[in-house]
Structures are given as structure tokens and as C-alpha cells.
Amino acid sequence: MRKFLMIVLLLFTAVACDDLLPAIDSPPIVDSGSGDWYQIYFTNPTCPPENQRQGGLDEIIAADLLEAQLQVDMAAFDFDAPPMVDALIALKNRGVTVRVVTDTDHADQSSINRLRRNGISVVEDKRGAFMHNKFIVIDGRYIWTGSTNFTTNDIYCYNNNLVRIDSAHLAANYRAEMDEMYNDRKFGPTSPVATPNDQLTIGGVRVENYFASETKVAPIIGRLVSQAQNDIKFMAFSFTHEDIGEAMIERAQQGVNVQGVFETTGSQTEFSYYGDMLGERLPNLQVRQDGNPRLMHHKVIIIDGKTTIFGSFNFTGNANNNNDENVLIVHDPTFASYFLAEFEAVWNEAKQ
């Protein structure tokens, strides 16, 4: 199996960091850190017995959490990783502000109850639709986000990605979303569109940041897909949305190479685009079911080797119209190259 992978890209130019916890509406939208501005992590889904789950991403995140000085915000669809639970409790005992939002479906698990017993207030969405985010903001500067739920299964058994980003202005977006959920109890399509910096530059790289379902993200992704000139590669836990699926098929019909890996379980529904894409019978449109006997949980599209779309957002109507989700779009070939390497590994393990 592939080894646990961490990739770090250094900034081409280093400038002074912004102050911690800036005002949410503070300009400018050009942001960078004084050293590394992102680290990309992919899980190694060997799924050892629970008492042998050590050395994974949960421990890396916990160590980063323990560096917090002022405030930690966590939006977690599902959360049971013991090192992270321990870290949040330690922060609370040290006087660091800790805010947690979770989905109602997972609000009664023992990890959440343990947080509450230790004085950490946990807000749940109390809706049928999902609070599906998986993000952390540390001291108004560092963001963790991606496809990974903060659970031992997601970290040790499922194919997932998670990216740590150093950017105060991007962090302001996630803080604004957290404020809507934690303070205002606003979820899903009833949330205001209040992202202060949805278009920004970090370390010379153009980044877009959107939150569903107050913003309709599927049409944005569909438009980007429709602009592909050479190739599209994707990994999809669930893929049913027409705006994205039809755009990919149209590009393939026009000669663009399209390759995709579907999570097997999700691909077996009548609404999945797996069957539609197989039915096209185009040599340049190739799709496979994943090879992980548990779950392939990525939600990633890479366009022309330079634009990477990732986050919590499954390519579905519920994600677009009902859930709470976040998406990042990074326009940079170096950033994309690491996701392409993960794609190739997942593709090679998939069922042919």
C-alpha cells in the first residue's frame, strides 16, 4: 500500500503574516504566509484494528490544535478521533476558546458528549439535511479542510484528502461561515451569502472559496468543467448532479480526455453518472469503480492539470441545494500535481 503522504510547497516570495483574528470584513484579498502556505495530506487506507490506529492524520491535526493560542473553530459532520477530542479538551482547560458545530445525526455520539461534559459547547444543525462541512480554523489563520471527516475510519480506512492552509483572509471566510452556524444558527440555504473573500490570491496563486447551499456551487463547477481543453480527472464518492455530469460528457464528446473513479457503493444507484458515462462508449471517456473495500471518499476534480476542485462537496443535488458544504478551487499546476498523483494511485487500484 502507499505510504501516508504529506506534501509541502514553499511560497515563492515571503511577506509578513497578517495579524491573528482579523476583522472578517478586512481587506485586502491578497494573502500569504511567511513560509509554507499549504500542506496536502492523503490517507493510507489500510484499516488496521482500532487499537493499532496510530501515526495517522488525527495525530498530526491534534498536534497542530495544541499549538493554538486564542481560538479553535471546528465544523465536523462526524467526529470521533480520540487524539483530536483530547486536544480540544486540553485547549478548553488552558483557556483557549473552542467552538464546535456538528450534524444532528452525529450529535449523540460519545465523543461529542465528552466535549460537552468538559465544558465545550457543541451546536448541532437540527435539520434533515446535512451539516456536511469538515473544517478547522486555528487562531484565525490556519485552515484544515478537505474530504476527511475527523473519524478514525475516515483517517485509517477510507481514501481521503485534507489540506492545511496558512492564510488569514481565507480563514476569515471560514470564520464567517462558523459564525453563521454557531452564533446565528443559520444552516443550508437559509444562510446568508457572507463570504468576505471568495476570490483571493495566496502566495501568487488564485484561489476561489464557496459555501453551499447558500451559494449554488454545482453550476460554478460545471462552468469550469465546460472550459476544459485537454483533460479532466475526477474522484467521486457520490456523483449525480447534471450540471457537472453533462459538462463532462459534452467535453468528452468534443475530444477532451475524461477519466474518473467512482466510489463503488455510490456508483450503483440509478442516479449515478457512472452508468451514463459508461454508456457513452467513448475511448477518451473512461470510468472505474474504486478498489477500496471500504470507501473511496474523495470529492475531487482536476482540470487541465492546473485547476483543482476539492472540499466536502459531493457532486449531488443535496450538496448543492440543502447541505452545508465548502469548496476550494486552486488554480495552480504544482498544487494540482499532488492531487494528480493521488488520482493515479486510486485509478490504478480501481476495478477495470
Q: Which residues are catalytic?
A: 297, 299, 304
Using the structure block, give the residue that is written with the C-alpha cell 477518451. Answer: 284
Query: Is residue 278 exposed (0-12), middle (13-18) or buried (19+ Cβ within 10 Å)?
Result: middle
138 phi/psi in degrees, rounded to 5 = -115, 120
Strands 71-76 and 231-236: unpaired
Cell matching residue 321: 441545494
Q: CA-CA distance, 144 to 26, in Å (whole number)?
A: 21
Q: DSSP for 61-101?
A: HHHHHTT-SSEEEEEESSB--HHHHHHHHHHHHHT-EEEEE
Note the Cα 347 to chain centre separation in Å.
20
Query: Is residue 306 exposed (0-12), middle (13-18) or buried (19+ Cβ within 10 Å)?
Result: middle
Question: Is 77 within 8 Å of 106 (Cβ atoms)?
Answer: yes
Using the structure block, give the residue that is written with the C-alpha cell 449554488. Answer: 216
What is the residue type of 2? R
Cell matching residue 228: 476544459
* 3-state secondary structure at position 169: helix
Q: CA-CA distance, 182 to 178, in Å (whole number)?
A: 6
The DSSP output letter for 51 is G
Q: CA-CA distance, 133 to 135, in Å (whole number)?
A: 6
Cell matching residue 229: 481543453
Cis preceding-peptide flag for 147 (omega within 30 of 0): no
Cell matching residue 140: 484565525
Query: Is the torsion defined by CA of 237, 240, 243, 246 positive or negative?
Result: positive
* 3-state secondary structure at position 44: coil
